Amino acid sequence: MSKNQIAGKYISSLNDQLGLSIKPQPIYQSKGLKTHMLKSKHYIALKYIDKIPEILEKPDYIGVDRTSNAIC
């Protein structure tokens, strides 16, 4: 049994906005994400866990955390 499931696909049209050149590829979600969120006290974000595929398909916010270079 796999530990991860495909939650969506990276949309290459975001490359221009992010200054990247990433090819379309699957984005994986850990099956332990909900447990992690509970342990880390991310209670507010839990209500969005089932909407992750929709959010990845049609994001309404795109950003880069300049302190860690992580895409948000």
Element (H, E) at 61: none
Q: Are 28 and 4 in contact (CB under 8 A)?
A: yes
Mean pLDDT, rounded, for 14-20: 86
pLDDT tens digits along 45-68: 999 999 999 999 999 988 777 787
pLDDT at 1 over 70: no
C-alpha 52/C-alpha 18 separation (Å) is: 20
